[in-house]
Each structure stands twice: as C-alpha cells, then as structure tokens.
Chains A and B, each alone.
Chain A
Amino acid sequence: MTPIAFDTSHLLAGGLVLVSFAMIYQNRLQALLRTFALHAVVLSAAVAWQAFTQSAEQLYLTAAIALVFKAIIIPAALRRIVQRLGIHREVEQVVGTGLTMLAGMGLVALSIVVMLDVTAKAGAFAREDLAFALSVVLLGLLMMVTRRNAVSQVVGFMSLENGLILAAAGARGMPLVVEISVAFSILIAFIVIGIFLFRIRERFDTVDLHALDSFRGERR
C-alpha cells in the first residue's frame, strides 16, 4: 500500500469517527439526521477508497449501497417520520453533551488500546482500521444509551452498523453475500423499527421511551 493510499484511508476512517462525535452533540433530531447522512457519505467514501486500493470491485457495490440507502433513503424517510410525528424540535439527550463527549473520548481511547494490543501481528492499516471501526461501534452504542427518543436510537443503531461495515471493508476478501445480507438486515430492521414507531405513537401519542416504561409498570 502506497503512503498516499494509506493516508487517505486513514483520513476517511478517522473522519468517520469525527462525524460520530458530531452526531453525539447534535441535540436536535433534524440536525442529527443530516449528520447521519454525512456519516454514511464518509463511510461510502471510505469503502470506495478501499475498493480502489484493494482493487476489489464488489466493494464499490457496498459503497453504492451505503450511499443510496444510508445517505439518501433512510435519512429522508426518518426525516419524514420526524416531521409527521412533529418532534423535530425536541431536545432529547439524557446525559449532558460534555459528559457524553468525554465518555466518547474514553471509548475511543479504549478501543485503540485494545485493538493495537490484540492485533499486534496484523498490518498497520488493518490495525488502525479496526481500531477506528470499534470506536465507531462504541460511539453508536453510546448514542443509543444517551438518547431518549426512539428515532435517535435508530440512528445510533445505524451508525453502529456503519462501524461494522468499515471493519468489514478493511478486511480483505469479505464476500459480497455477507455484505448484502448485512445491508438488507439493516434495511429490514429500519422498516420494522419505523413501523413500530408509528404503532407506539398511535398508542401513546409520543415516541419518548419514557412512556413505554411507565406503561410497563416501571417503578422509579
């Protein structure tokens, strides 16, 4: 791998982590969805760059899927949902932004330490790619934990999945079948969750998870 190729993929993977951080401090849903679209674009670019450097044509398809579904269709659909539900102004973080950002930094540090330890024998690129991917996964999880709204949990889940795709693209020779099945499972998850959002909304007049909890007889 030439230095320029290495640097570029490093830049793109690092960019993905950066956009993950950007998603964490978005406290409006509309802004969050736009950032998520950006996240998917960066992912698509990273995967495409991998396809170019590894000369693996099927990764172009992966990149295209990511671009079409995750950067365009899903954010647009979620935006429609948010508008129809009328929750585009809601602030819905549970933990303050600063604290979440600090926690996110800790997670990134942790994943880098772990990955560099574990993959001591692998190539430099694979190591850093995996470290970035794990960071993205953990940040997605962090977002799911710190958000109150079901829509933003969907977004957190999708960004978590982006991290998985990044890791998969970095590993050479991942079969396309796996890739496509992952993409479709995500799509189906999105559809199911979307339907559930409306059902929840119909029943409780809100998609705030708090309502669900009190419905289950939650003791606080």
Chain B
Amino acid sequence: MVSVQFTAHLKRWFPDLVPQEIDAPDVASLVRELEGRFPGLAGYIVDERGSLRQHVNIFVNREMLQDREALGDPLSPGDEVHVFQALSGG
C-alpha cells in the first residue's frame, strides 16, 4: 500500500477528503484510483490528458514527480505520496 496525503486546500472542494491508503503501481494508477473514491478529484490534479496541472505538485517520498506528462513514476509498497498545490501569485 502507498499512503497519500493532500494539501488542506483540496478539502474545501472535497470535504470528505482524508489521507488514503492505495495499492497502485504508478502515480497515474493512483490518480485513477483516487477518482474512483472521490469522483471529480482527478480533474483537480490532472488535466483531461492526464498531465499534472501546471500549478500542482506531487511528491513521492519527498521527491518531486519526474513524469508530469503521463505520471509514470513507479510506486512501491510503503511509499509516501503528497499532493500539494504549487505556490503562485495573489
């Protein structure tokens, strides 16, 4: 299982969102699984091509996602994934 934690900003739009435990071989699969659990959530993280939105960051074990286009970064049991918003202007 991979543990997933989210920026608190997402709770505004998904009030029931809490850290998740997910079995997924890569980040793209993880996002698909998240969509199943929280319909609409994937559209906040990725665009309709499945690419990470410009001002969203995903970290795997504190390292920034490498494949922002296809989210192909592999995952292993015990990994920690953080979904954050990037910092941007006012």
Q: Do A and B come from one complex?
A: no
Measured CB to CB, the residues of A under 8 A from B are none
> Which residues of B are in contact with A by a Cβ distance under 8 Å?
none
